Amino acid sequence: MEPSSRKALVHVKKELVSIEPKGTPPADKRHDEKAKPRGAKAFKDLTPEEKLLEIVRHSLRPFSDRLDPFAALPVTLDRFQEHLISFYLLYYPKATYGFSPRLRPHPVASNFSIALTTPACFQVIMARSALYRISLNKYASEAERSSLELAVMRHKGEALKLVRVLSSKLTPKRKDDLLASIISLGTFDRRSGSEEAAGLHYQAVRRILKSTGGPLAVNSVLLSRVMCFFECIYGTSPESYIWDDSDVQRLVHGLNGFLKKLREFWQSLSTINALTAQLVGDNSGRHKEAEPRPIHSFGIREGSTLLGLVSRQPPPSAELTQQRRLEMIFQLTCLLTLGMITMDLANDFRALQAYMDSLHASIEKLQLAGLSCNNAMWQIQVNDHSEPHSRRIWRAASFAWVMKHCTYSVQLTLKEWLLAFFTGKPVQKPYRLDAFHFSYAG
């Protein structure tokens, strides 16, 4: 790639999150010819919904003209494809995952940055955008619906073709590209309901990872963070592109060991608290020991947005919806990661406090209160790009994956146990997962 093209590509990656729909751009004959199909109805004859879609179409600045002046994208986009990309970047994130547009970096923009240098991922993005527009009925006519259906098949087919070529010419330097491409296809198939196809793709990724050192051997920090996040985002399915049944026993043992060490640390804090308890006088002039003060929480501040996100719970009588199940896994992933941060920095409370102060500040600045906990999960995972943090987030993700095999009530008990630690409650009894916890998921 020429130096000027590389500069443009860097600029693209920086600007992805700031894309906003603008006013009607100057007319472009090439685009206008493609945008006006034969037999199109006059604007005055359209339904209100069709008028709205038409306004949106003509209000979006052409993506490739604005952000790809040096043709650095993996493909040359026509106007229809530009709208698929614009829809993916502007509307898809909030509608599908409840992502805050204030996230910096944004998970969708981060994923798109990977796609800019991985053509198969770019093709999957366009297929995903078309599929989601169909599911939302975001089309103005049956002809447009047919175009979207064709786009799904066409772009998925292109992605499969590119993966085959990449597999046949694989080199160690291209391993990350292959992983990103197959994961993209797997998550797309899961989204489209093709569970068998998704399973085959995930199985391929597991084989590659287990033969090359696991997820910690992924060279790109950006890809590692995106992989970890999207592994966690599918919060109700135990299907994984990292772990399978052969890993369960090892991971359960690891989770129990971590919870045991966390409780031992909790007990040590309790001892310190008891040693510093003061004596107070009563009305008779005698002294008695003061009520024990809450054990100091080195993780989550009382009244903070972060605590609100990881602790909120609907009434027990509320229906157990898919969103509630998802939120529970997001909360557990956050709490487990924060627990690992606490244990890693337990020997230096000042460093731990500074670390958590920075994390709290970033979440307050992003104004995430009231949003899905996956926003906090992303921020916790990308807040630190160090190698130790990579180990933490993957380990926490593995333990959260184990919890996906348990019932909702078991997940809730672990969440409450962890919250007791982070909010300075008295030491709870040991928490240990056993075979009977892995009953029917509910």
Identify the pLDDT of residue 329: 96
In a shared domain, residues 256 and 362: yes
Cβ(220)–Cβ(176) under 8 Å? yes
Q: Is 60 exceeded by the pLDDT of residue 334?
A: yes
Q: With respect to residue 199, please indicate whether it lies within any of the assigned structural domains.
A: no
Domain end position, chosen among 131, 154, 169:
169
Identify the pLDDT of residue 400: 96
In a shared domain, residues 162 and 266: no
In a shared domain, residues 258 and 115: no
Q: With respect to residue 367, please indicate whether it lies within any of the assigned structural domains.
A: yes
pLDDT band at 309 (very low <50, low <70, confident <90, very high): very high
Task: Return the closest-CA partner of residue 398 out of 246, 218, 254.
Answer: 254
Identify the pLDDT of residue 195: 85
Identify the pLDDT of residue 68: 58
In a shared domain, residues 139 and 12: yes
* Percent residues over pLDDT 90 in the chain: 56
The 10s digit of each residue's pLDDT in 337-357 is 999 999 999 999 889 999 999
pTM (predicted TM-score) = 0.79
Which range has highest mean pLDDT (54-68, 74-88, 195-209, 283-297)?
A: 195-209
Q: With respect to residue 42, please indicate whether it lies within any of the assigned structural domains.
A: yes
Identify the pLDDT of residue 55: 52
In a shared domain, residues 255 and 120: no
pLDDT band at 121 (very low <50, low <70, confident <90, very high): very high
Identify the pLDDT of residue 299: 74
**Token pair listed for 371:** 């949003």
Average pLDDT over residues 133-158: 89
Q: Which domain holds residue 365?
A: 246-378+387-437
What's the half-sphere exposure (Cβ side, CA atoms, 13 Å) at 90?
17
In a shared domain, residues 406 and 297: yes
Q: Is 60 exceeded by the pLDDT of residue 64?
A: no
Q: With respect to residue 228, please indicate whether it lies within any of the assigned structural domains.
A: no
Q: With respect to residue 226, please indicate whether it lies within any of the assigned structural domains.
A: no
Name residue, tokens 């292959």: 178
Report the alpha-carbon distance of residue 118 to residue 127 in Å, rounded: 15
* Residue 137 DSSP class: T
In a shared domain, residues 262 and 164: no
Q: With respect to residue 196, please indicate whether it lies within any of the assigned structural domains.
A: no
Write out the DSSP string of 163-200: HHHHHHT--GGGHHHHHHHHHHHHHHHHHHT-HHHHHH
Domain end position, chosen among 169, 187, 202:
169
Task: Return the closest-CA partner of residue 415 out of 324, 335, 301, 337.
Answer: 335
Identify the pLDDT of residue 138: 72
Higher-scoring residue by pLDDT: 301, 62: 301
Identify the pLDDT of residue 192: 86
In a shared domain, residues 154 and 276: no
In a shared domain, residues 292 and 423: yes
Domain end position, chosen among 134, 154, 169:
169
Q: Is 60 exceeded by the pLDDT of residue 141?
A: yes
Q: Name beta bridge partners: 339.
A: none
Rg (CA), the chain: 25
Identify the pLDDT of residue 95: 76
Average pLDDT over residues 172-181: 92
In a shared domain, residues 23 and 146: yes
User: What Å distances lie between residue 180 and 87, 189, 218, CA to CA?
Assistant: 21, 14, 10
In a shared domain, residues 38 and 149: yes
In a shared domain, residues 413 and 321: yes
Average pLDDT over residues 110-127: 94
Number of domains in the chain: 2
Q: With respect to residue 181, please indicate whether it lies within any of the assigned structural domains.
A: no
Identify the pLDDT of residue 437: 85
Q: With respect to residue 191, please indicate whether it lies within any of the assigned structural domains.
A: no
